[in-house]
Amino acid sequence: MALLEVIGLTKRFGDRTVLKGIDFSLEEGDTKVIMGPSGCGKSTLLRCLNRLIEPDGGQILFRSEDVTRADTDVRLLRQRIGFVFQQFALYRHLTALENVTLALRKLKGMSSRDADAKALLELRRMDMEEHRAKYPAQLSGGQKQRVAIARALAMDPAVLFFDEPTSALDPEMSREVVALINRLRYEGVTMLCVTHDVSLARYVTAQVIFMDAGEIRAEDEPERLLSGHHDPRIREFFGNLGHADA
């Protein structure tokens, strides 16, 4: 059964159409990566799916339930979708541990002890247990991103969304985070990842969705998209990325 099924999703900002009828689905335990040039609408798509941005038309079926309806409990939906941001977005007034426990205590009503235990478990999973008492400003970029992932995982979400999780990191830290995401994949975590990072797409060897100008142009295995694709737009995009890497 599909965890997430998107049918004809559209979004306009003023007279600019950012999403022109998006269709795709994500199975339980699957990982998909969305790629495409800047401004193609991929970040907007991700934000429409948990309704941080309100879509204009189409349907989003979350475990067969249409969550675009007006009576949907949006906050409950968001609690079931973990979201990891490009700029980490850690709460700067809270320690690493407190960043993870806040939602557990306030949204799930867990006691401090239970929340701490759960949060430590997640931090350990991300190799961040020893840094639990540090504030965001005292962590490196890679460490911040690992806390952010722990924060998302602690809620036991049905799916984890990543919005450019490695773009703000230097290459070495970015490799660390890619390795972590890959590990999560083998642990069976369902993930949807928007990225520019070819190595991320290649390493987690998922299905890649290629978006351009608000549309899905192709969905295929990464290797087939990355080299010599028949669509010139796709060839051009990955060709340019290749140059940027070199």
Q: Which residues bind another protein (CB under 8 A)?
A: 50, 52, 75-79, 81, 83, 85-93, 102-103, 106-107, 134-138, 148, 151, 155
Q: Report the nearest approach of another protein to the CB of residue 168 (Å).
A: 10
What's the closest the beta carbon of residue 194 comes to another protein, in angstroms? 14
CB 190 within 8 A of CB 139: no
CA–CA separation, 54 and 196 (whole Å)? 24
The answer to whether the Cα torsion of 2, 46, 193, 109 is positive or negative is: negative
Helix (H) or strand (E) holding 83: strand 81-84
Nearer to another protein, 47 or 229 (CB): 47
Q: Nearer to another protein by C-beta: 34 or 234?
A: 34
CB of 136 to another protein, least distance (A): 7
Q: How far is the CB of 221 from another protein (least distance, A)?
A: 29
Tokens encoding 49: 């799916």
